[in-house]
Amino acid sequence: MNNFNKIPYMLLRGGTSKGPCFDWKYFPENDVERNKILLSIMGSPHPLQIDGIGSNHDLANKICLIRPSKLENIDVEYLLCQNHANSDQIETNLDCGNMLSAVAIYSLEMNYIKILKKETVLNIFSHNSKSRIEATISTKNKKINYEPDNIDNFEYGCIVKLAFLNPSGSSLGSEFPTGNKIDIIENTPVSCIDVSMPMVIGLAEDFNISGNETKIELDRNHNLMKKLETIRRIAASKMGMGNVEYKTSPKICLVSKAIRNGHINARYFISPFENNSHPTFAVTGAMCLGGSICIQNTLTNKLLKNFTINDEENNISIEHPSGTINVSVYLDNKKNISKISYLKSARPLSIGHVLIPKK
């Protein structure tokens, strides 16, 4: 093993995503040098990631760097590094709501804070969105409470309640970066909103789809993807994000009326320029969409004419190709979004060392 550098890691499932978690101290502060190491660990940009621990899918290629924090009222800091199998780039501009549950479990397993008897609250600072997240972890007798999982439909996991605090404008500094609740782009109405993440929201019918399509049907609709990407790029410019060619932020989603027991039906697109829609729905995207419903005169708020915005808690169910995702949107006394919460489960999958060839 003298030809390799060793870095300890823990592989975790977080919600419906997974990836390796590392103590941040093992990586250089320089972004370029750090990313070289991460690409080597994952085996990118080889499309199959044969020479690394990557999983050849965006949802299973999420790396978390975590460290105890010296910031006031913060327990741990983290950075999500999104890796794509066939790319030599590492993206750090977005959070992953799923992997935040893994961050919470990793932090307790590494003894970054003391585990309490009934539940343990962990305050997380995200270096991706500059957000503060409160994680409430199910614990029992000062141990992490792993049990049969009825949250994400896996065999086993620990339930984690996550709440993004004051999520509006977390990435771009404004809830509506264009200054409007509805913009007309390419003769199509959209809402451009930043709540936990920047997103462009359109009506499915304006894109000549029902909104009930499967992932396969969406990915094969190249005319749809072309229109989505055109609008996404123009919207990004209006939002002050510059040229987003080959970048996955802002996200874009299309909504329609619910067809099951949810409040709204939605389709979420990871990267239209790669003909890639989401098989389910990203948590941060669900928070943004849920937040938009609770703001008067947005596209989604107008679509849900019979939805009553409560003064405090609003529980919202979003239908997607594989089921539903639920978020709770909380408002303060000025009707501003104070926090958005959701439930996820997480558990460790393996623990050991990654081996990086010495140059």
Report d(CA 253, CA 251) in Å as an integer.
Answer: 7
What are the distances in angstroms from CA 155 to CA 54, 98, 147, 163, 228? 23, 17, 8, 24, 37
Confidence of residue 48 (pLDDT cuts 50, 70, 90): very high
The bridge status of strand 17-23 relative to strand 183-185 is: unpaired
Give the model confidence (pLDDT) of 84-94 as tens digits.
888 899 999 88
Give the three-state DSSP class for 226.
helix
Instruction: Tell whether the model's pLDDT for residue 359 goes beyond 90.
Output: no
The gap from C-alpha 108 to its chain's centroid, in whole angstroms, comes to 21
Output the average pLDDT for the chain: 95
Please check the confidence at residue 149 and state whether its pLDDT lies above 80.
no
For residue 305, pLDDT over 90 is answered with no
207-261 pLDDT, tens digit per residue, is 999 999 999 999 999 999 999 999 999 999 999 999 999 889 999 999 999 999 9
SS3 320: strand
For 158, 234, 245, the CA distances from 186, given in Å and listed in that order, are: 46, 9, 18
Structure confidence at residue 306 (pLDDT): 86
Q: How far is CA 191 from its chain centroid?
A: 19
Q: Which amino acid is at 65?
A: L
Which pLDDT band holds residue 162 (cuts at 50, 70, 90)?
very high
Task: Judge whether residue 328 has pLDDT over 80.
Answer: yes
Q: How far apart are CA 177 and CA 193, in angstroms?
A: 7
| Distance between start and end Cα atoms, the chain | 14
What pLDDT does residue 250 have?
96
pLDDT of residue 345: 95
The residue assigned the tokens 């609003």 is 314
**Per-residue pLDDT tens for 129-146?**
999 999 999 999 999 999
SS3 174: coil
Q: What is the pLDDT of residue 172?
A: 93
Residue 311 and residue 180: Cα distance in Å, rounded?
23
The answer on pLDDT for 150 being more than 80 is no
For residue 326, what are its two tokens?
A: 């639920």
Q: What is the pLDDT of residue 11?
A: 99
pLDDT at res. 312: 87
| Residues 6+ positions from 128 with CB-CB distance below 8 Å | 79, 80, 92, 93, 94, 95
User: How much is the pLDDT for 111?
Assistant: 97
Return the residue matching tokens 């990004």: 236
Supply the pLDDT for residue 118.
87
Tell me the average pLDDT across 13-38: 97
List b or e across 132-170, with b for residues whose CB sees 16 or more CB atoms inside 10 angstroms: bbbbbbbbeeeebbbeebebbeeeebbbbbbbbbebbbb
Domains of the chain: residue spans and CATH: 4-168+345-357 (3.10.310.10), 183-335 (3.10.310.10)
- 105's enclosing H/E stretch is helix 99-109
Q: Give the three-class secondary structure for 88.
A: coil
Place of tokens 């959209």: 190
Q: How far apart, in whole angstroms, are the C-alpha atoms of residue 118 and residue 346?
A: 17
Tell me the whole-structure pTM to 2 decimals.
Answer: 0.90
Taking the C-alpha atoms of residue 42 and residue 62, their distance in angstroms, rounded to an integer, is 10
Arithmetic mean of pLDDT, 321-338: 94
Q: Which of 339, 326, 335 is nearest to 295 (CA)?
A: 335
pLDDT category at 79 given cuts 50, 70, 90 is: very high
Hey, what are 165's tokens? 């605090």
Strand partners, 315: 328
**Region 99-112 average pLDDT:** 98
- pLDDT given for residue 151 in this prediction: 80
Other CB atoms closer than 10 Å to residue 279's CB: what's the count? 17
Say if CB 185 and CB 239 are below 8 A apart: no
Overall average pLDDT of the 330-358 stretch: 96
Predicted confidence (pLDDT) at residue 17 exceeds the cutoff of 90: yes
How far are the Cα atoms of 45, 61, 64, 260, 347 from residue 11, in angstroms, in the given order? 20, 11, 10, 35, 9
Q: For residue 191, what are the CA distances in angstroms to 78, 138, 200, 298?
A: 30, 37, 6, 6
